[in-house]
Amino acid sequence: MNLVLAVVCDDVRERTDGKLDVIGVYSELSAPGFPAVQARMTVVFVMEWSREETGTQVFRADLVQQSGRRILTIEGETTVTAHVDGRPPPRTRLVLPLQNVVFPEAGAYHFELVAGGDVQRACSCFLSQRSG
């Protein structure tokens, strides 16, 4: 599995022509205090699969603190079609809207994506305390 795209954003619109409109990409948030709750956020992962990776593929995305502690886990599966010569490799697009995500403390967070036997560090987000 090759991770082609990984972002944290406000929203995503999936268009009828197959394109994704990714809205409000960010890598930093601030909060008045901690623990902090992000009422709404969307995570997008686009994975490209090799010829050997067909059929049902299980995936897991973990939101991890800089200490290594997992604070959120998303699990699922996707069906990967066989690779066809002359066509691009099969891809899976995961658009994951999340609500009320709790960030226990200020600092760096990142998603780790586990799929196709691979673990890849994906998008990150830094949480800081708002001054004033």
Q: What CATH number has the domain bearing residue 45?
A: 2.70.50.60
Closest Cα partner for 72 from 80, 81, 61? Answer: 61
- Tell me the per-residue pLDDT of 55-71, one tens digit each, with 9 for 90 and over: 999 999 999 999 999 99
- Beta strand pairing call for 118-129 and 107-115: antiparallel
Instruction: Provide the domain limits for residue 105.
Output: 2-129
Number of structural domains in the chain: 1
- pLDDT at residue 132 in the model: 64
What's the rounded mean pLDDT across residues 4-15? 96
- Which token pair is 108? 């760096």
Neighbours of 120 (CB within 10 A): 16
pTM: 0.92
**CA–CA separation, 65 and 76 (whole Å):** 22
- pLDDT at residue 123 in the model: 96
Average pLDDT of every residue of the chain: 95
- Tell me the per-residue pLDDT of 102-128, one tens digit each, with 9 for 90 and over: 999 999 999 999 998 889 999 999 999
CA 107 from centroid of its chain's CA atoms:
18
